[in-house]
């Protein structure tokens, strides 16, 4: 699937500045789930976006490379991260280049909804080493804020009504779908909590694919959306920070 809907300068800079670094929590979960006590040597972050997931992978990996189909995202990464510690290049998830040293860990955050699964796994089998681990994960906004039922009502009655979710492939990958060189070790679901002020929450919501689709299709302008959210969310935030609950999953897949 050749999806370049995020190849937009506004979205790339929004990802870099307005998205919370929840990827760190995913890495902490990974360390606990797989009982990891030492660093990996060579890691690949597929679909790196603005580099938040690559920065998280660097916490447990000596050398990291990030790739993304969006040239705008890669430009933001190159402008943000030290070239002596991070390598970035533009590529489809199915077309990662062969590294000098096979990757012993690969992360793919929020990617699989847009990829050709068979082509992606074929490519991963080429770039990953024996017993390397592929971590497929994602997290997304839910209809829940801590002790705030008004947000749940806003989420269903205003947000999803005005900004329906664009179509995407939400297939869960099972062992029966895997090539013989891959084994699904575990699949876990969990929640991540993050505290937002009103303005930071609105700026975060402006990077959502639901909202981006409306802007790109010229159905609503950025200013119209921002004003709508500020007007309707102000009574929900009551001038204080609120804690959003993200739903999340991680799949741990080993290359034999």
Q: Can you give the CATH number for the domain in which 66 is found?
A: 3.40.50.150
Q: Which domain holds residue 126?
A: 9-255
**203 in a domain, yes or no?**
yes
- pLDDT score for 5: 53
**1 in a domain, yes or no?**
no
**72 in a domain, yes or no?**
yes
Closest to 202 (Cα-Cα) out of 248, 157, 244: 244
Q: Cα–Cα distances in Å, from 131 out to 99, 102, 104? A: 16, 11, 7
Write down how long the chain is: 256
**183 in a domain, yes or no?**
yes
Structure confidence by residue, pLDDT tens digits, 154-204: 999 999 999 998 888 999 999 999 999 999 999 999 999 999 999 999 999
**207 in a domain, yes or no?**
yes
State the residue for tokens 């700026």.
Answer: 203
Structure confidence by residue, pLDDT tens digits, 20-78: 999 999 999 999 999 998 899 999 999 999 999 999 999 999 999 999 999 999 999 99
**4 in a domain, yes or no?**
no
Q: Cα–Cα distances in Å, from 62 out to 5, 58, 81? A: 31, 7, 15
The tally of domains found in the chain comes to: 1
DSSP calls for 176-193: GGS-TTEEEEEEEEEEEE
Q: What is the pTM of this model?
A: 0.94
Q: Would you state the structure tokens that stand for residue 238, as one six-digit string?
A: 């009551």
**3 in a domain, yes or no?**
no
**146 in a domain, yes or no?**
yes
Structure confidence by residue, pLDDT tens digits, 201-215: 999 999 999 998 898
């Amino acid at each position: 699937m050749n999806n370049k809907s995020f190849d937009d300068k506004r979205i790339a800079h929004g990802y870099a500045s307005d998205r919370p670094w929840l990827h760190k929590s995913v890495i902490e979960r990974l360390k606990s789930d797989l009982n990891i006590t030492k660093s990996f040597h060579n890691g690949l972050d597929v679909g790196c976006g603005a580099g938040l997931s690559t920065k998280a992978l660097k916490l447990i990996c000596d050398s990291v490379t990030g790739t993304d189909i969006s040239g705008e995202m890669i430009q933001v990464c190159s402008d943000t991260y030290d070239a002596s510690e991070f390598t970035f290049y533009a590529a489809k998830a199915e077309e990662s280049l062969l590294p000098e040293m096979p990757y012993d860990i690969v992360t793919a955050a929020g990617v699989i909804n847009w990829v050709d699964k068979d082509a992606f796994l074929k490519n991963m089998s080429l770039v990953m080493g024996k017993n390397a681990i592929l971590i497929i994960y994602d997290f997304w906004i839910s209809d829940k804020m801590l002790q705030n039922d008004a947000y749940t009502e806003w989420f269903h009655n205003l947000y999803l009504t005005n900004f329906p979710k664009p179509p995407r492939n939400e297939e869960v990958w099972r062992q029966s779908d895997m090539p013989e060189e891959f084994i699904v070790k575990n699949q876990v679901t969990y929640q991540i909590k993050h505290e937002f002020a009103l303005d930071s929450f609105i700026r975060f919501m402006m990077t959502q694919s639901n909202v981006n689709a409306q802007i790109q299709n010229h159905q609503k302008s950025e200013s119209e959306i921002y004003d709508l959210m500020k007007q309707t969310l102000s009574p929900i935030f009551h001038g204080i920070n609120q804690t959003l609950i993200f739903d999340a999953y991680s799949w741990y897949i080993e290359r034999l």
